[in-house]
Structure 1
C-alpha cells in the first residue's frame, strides 16, 4: 500500500502546484493590477514553471534516465514552439487582415 500512497501524494502535489500556477496567471490578467509587460512576464514565468511541474510530477521525469529526460524536454520544447508560434502567427495574420 505504501507505493500507491506516495504516488497519489505526488499526483495531488502536482495538481495543486499546476492549479496554483494557473490561478496566478489568470489573476494577473483578470485584476489588471500590473503593467502589460509585467503581466506578460508573469504569464511566461508561470508557463515555464507549469511545464516543469507537468514533466516532473505527471510524466515522472527524474535524473535516473538522462536520455529520456533530454528527449522529453526536446519534445516539450517543440510542442511549446509549435503552439506559441502558431498562435502568434494566426493572431498577427488576423490583425493584418483586419487592418486592410
Structure 2
C-alpha cells in the first residue's frame, strides 16, 4: 500500500487536528477524574458532590462538542448546533413528560404513601 506525501497545508491541518484531539482527551480525563477523586477520597457534603458532578458533566458535554464533534459557534457550523439543541429539547420534553405522568399516576394510585 502506497502512502502519498502530504502537502504542507495538509500536514499543518493534521497536526492541528491531532492537537485538538489531545486537548479534548486531556480535558475530558480531568473532568472525569475530578468528581471521581472527590467521591472516592474526600468527605464533602452529598449535595455539593452532586453539584460538582453535574457541573463537570455539563462542561464535559461542551468539551466533547467542541473538540471531538467540532461543533462551534462559527457561521458554517450553526446548523449542526441547532440540530443538537433541537434534539436535546425533544429529549427533555419526552423525559419530563414521562416523569410527570409517572409521578401523577403514583400520586393517584397510592395517596397514602406520599411522603
TM-score category by the smaller chain? 0.7 to 0.9
Give unpaired runs (5+ residues) of structure 1.
90-100
Residue equivalent to 2:57: 47
Tell me if 1:19 matches 2:29.
yes
SS at match of 1:60: coil
TM-score between the two structures when normalised by the length of structure 1: 0.72
What are the superposed Cα offsets for residues 21-57 of structure 1, whole Å, 9 maximum, x if unpaired?
Answer: 0000101111233100000000000000010000010
- How far did residue 74 of structure 1 move? 3.5
Which moved further from structure 2: 22-31 or 3-12? 22-31
User: Relative CO higher for 1 or 2, CA cutoff 8 Å, sep ≥ 6?
Assistant: 1
| CA distance in structure 2 between the aligned counterparts of 1:73 and 1:49, rounded to whole angstroms | 16
Unaligned 5+ runs, structure 2: 1-10, 103-115
Matched residues in 1 for 2:38 and 2:78: separation? Answer: 35
Distance 1:40 1:74 in 2: 26
Structure 2 vs 1, CA of residues 56 and 76 (structure 1 numbering), >3 Å: closer, same or farther?
Answer: farther
Task: Tell me what 2:7 maps to.
Answer: none
- Greater radius of gyration (CA): 2
Q: CA separation in 2, counterparts of 1:51 and 1:45?
A: 10
